[in-house]
Amino acid sequence: MSGVVLHIGLPKTATTTLQKSVFPKLSGVCYAGKHIPGYGYTSVELGRAMHALMRADSVLGDVVPAFAEAVSEVSATCGASTLVISSESLAHPSARDIGLVATRLAAAVPQARILISIRAQTDLVRSWYRSHGRFAQYMFTHKRESERIRSSLSQREWWDFVSRDPDAGLLAMLDFDAIVECYARLFPNRVTVLPMEWMRVDPSRFARSLAGLLGADPAACEQALEGAHENRGLSKREVCAARVCSMLGVSADFLEHRSQGVIRRWLAAGGAADEKLAPVIGEFIRTRYAKGNSRLSSRFGLDLSSWGYATSDDVLLGD
């Protein structure tokens, strides 16, 4: 199998692990980015075209030709049977419109194969709050002009901001069924859905599915996955340090990835700061996304309920 694979890596679904530890290490696969920790792409032109594809306003012009040309140039020179392009921002609250991004991708690379990685919404939201929400990052929400956002938010305060716009931002990103349906319509019979949970409970199955899509060796894929883990949960010390950075106006992005520095090791050594998800948030997720998760399960033969995804059966049992 050859061609272009676009990884629509939903944030907090092991995308960094795949980008850093798997895609670049597979024979026969050319990984064009994004690369960790530099966040760059194989070519400057591809990076610029990716950014425009995800963020540019359509009234300013058509960004599709530049992206198509950049992908074509990398494909022609990479010397591999499969070209992989991966980015969380393709289906991220910071994207101008998830559906618009998908439409642009289909126009630019119509024969591409699509990989969409997912994770139980409750776990994803907890991880998102842990890494970003508590620091008021990636808010993208309506705010009253006189309203001030503190540098450190409780779960409930953060969720109040997030849920103000139920049809955009994080809440749109959590509708996996809608996102998959959009890509399935634009890329018929070329969409693969990989639950992050497979990586933990059945790594061989995850590796086989990923390798089959990429045309790679399953054993090599599984070996690359072994022990690979990025973006671990923050310690209480790291959360405290990030809050201080936020108050001082300093970016706390250095906390998101592992580092061998003495200070980093000391910060990471403290107790974990992994809060449980507030019941009201869990109930919102359960009622809003259960039907979509059930449809997704049926369409792809995935037993999402057993991995903690809310489904219609769960809602009926809860009632």
* Whether residue 250 sits in one domain with residue 196: no
Rounded-to-integer distance, Cα 37 and Cα 16, Å: 9
* Whether residue 144 sits in one domain with residue 29: yes
Q: Which are the contacts of 86, defined by CB distance < 8 A and separation ≥ 6?
A: 6, 7, 9, 15, 18, 19, 23, 31, 33, 34
* Whether residue 289 sits in one domain with residue 216: yes
* Whether residue 250 sits in one domain with residue 137: no
Q: The tokens of 186 are what?
A: 């634009």
- Maximum C-alpha span of the chain: 57
* Whether residue 285 sits in one domain with residue 262: no
* Whether residue 182 sits in one domain with residue 114: yes
* Whether residue 149 sits in one domain with residue 24: yes
Rounded-to-integer distance, Cα 302 and Cα 174, Å: 17
* Whether residue 247 sits in one domain with residue 222: no
Rounded-to-integer distance, Cα 171 and Cα 160, Å: 12
Give the number of domains in the chain.
2
* Whether residue 260 sits in one domain with residue 137: no
CA distances 158 to 1, 135, 240, 285, Å, are: 44, 9, 17, 15
* Whether residue 21 sits in one domain with residue 39: yes
Give me the tens of pLDDT residue by residue for the chain, a chain 319 residues long.
359 999 998 999 999 899 999 999 999 999 998 887 778 898 999 999 999 999 999 999 999 999 999 999 999 999 899 999 999 989 998 888 999 999 999 999 999 999 999 999 999 999 899 888 888 888 877 777 777 777 788 899 999 989 988 888 899 999 999 999 999 999 999 999 999 999 988 999 999 999 999 999 999 999 999 877 666 667 778 777 777 776 776 665 555 555 567 777 777 777 767 678 999 999 999 999 999 999 999 999 999 999 999 998 765 444 4
* Whether residue 263 sits in one domain with residue 117: no
The CATH number given to whatever domain includes residue 55 is: 3.40.50.300
* Whether residue 156 sits in one domain with residue 289: yes
Rounded-to-integer distance, Cα 231 and Cα 258, Å: 7
Domain that holds residue 148: 3-231+277-318
